[in-house]
Chains A and B, each alone.
Chain A
């Protein structure tokens, strides 16, 4: 709520109902830039984040625990064994086309795996990595 403009942009995008991964990336990048002037999303940092072992959760220590090292491949839930469709929009165009859904899963998974909410900068970096590869 510290950045009403970014929040407004996100809500406006939600109201439009047809977001794109690029649009979400831009929204997160703009929010990050409002805190860190000159911020540019980095696929390299996104890849590092995606592969990092946070170790907060025993069964889900990292993003790759469920989504595998290659987010363009199908994953598998580390606890239930359920198949997970590819996370990368380049492999699964349905990904990151709903801002509210993206926020819900960032909320759940960042809390579970990272142990805290993810920053807008981390989300922007991750989205660039998922969209473009490292």
Chain B
């Protein structure tokens, strides 16, 4: 399956950056996205949640995972349009839950299935939304396994 997918990607002539461990922000990201969403957490790659789920997130910014992240209407529209343009495949990123969490999707869970559960509560991590704790180059869109910061996880990979 993986081989077939790789072959398909090669056939389509997709650049390396299209691989799942490279998730740079789309070039048309409005400055408000990093400024507003990227202050309290990583400016998440919009492809990690389906467009319909992003719409639900944007509809509830005044109760945003325990914080008030309300925006003025113009800023909310610019960011909402951007997220809707780049939202991911609804099947691949299914089961985001209510409120939608990109860390709950089928894709995220599969990708992180080898992470021991206590590690999510580790003081260095604190939250599954803290991508940079394990992926130090997440802000540059790099999520490759070779870059993982926590030694326990590197060890786990090798065995």
Contact = CB atoms under 8 A, between A and B. Distances in A.
A83 B67 CA distance: 17
Q: Of A60, A76, A80, A108, which is in contact with the most chain B CB atoms at under 10 Å from its CB?
A: A80
Interface string B62-91: 000111111000000000000000000000
Contacts of B132: 82-83
B69 A108 contact: yes
Q: Classify chain B: how many residues form its interface, as a range.
A: 10 to 19
Contact of A80 (B68, B70, B129): B129
A77 B40 contact: yes
Interface string B87-128: 000000000000000000000000000000000000001110
A77 B132 CA distance: 13
Contacts of A81: 125-127, 129-130, 133
A1 interface: no
B111 to A, nearest CB: 19
A79 B125 contact: no
A80 B41 contact: yes
B41 A82 contact: yes
A79 B66 contact: yes
Interface of A: 57-60, 76-77, 79-83, 108, 111-112
Closest 7 A/B residue pairs (Cβ): A81-B126, A81-B130, A80-B41, A81-B127, A80-B129, A80-B127, A112-B68
Interface of B: 40-42, 65-70, 125-127, 129-130, 132-133
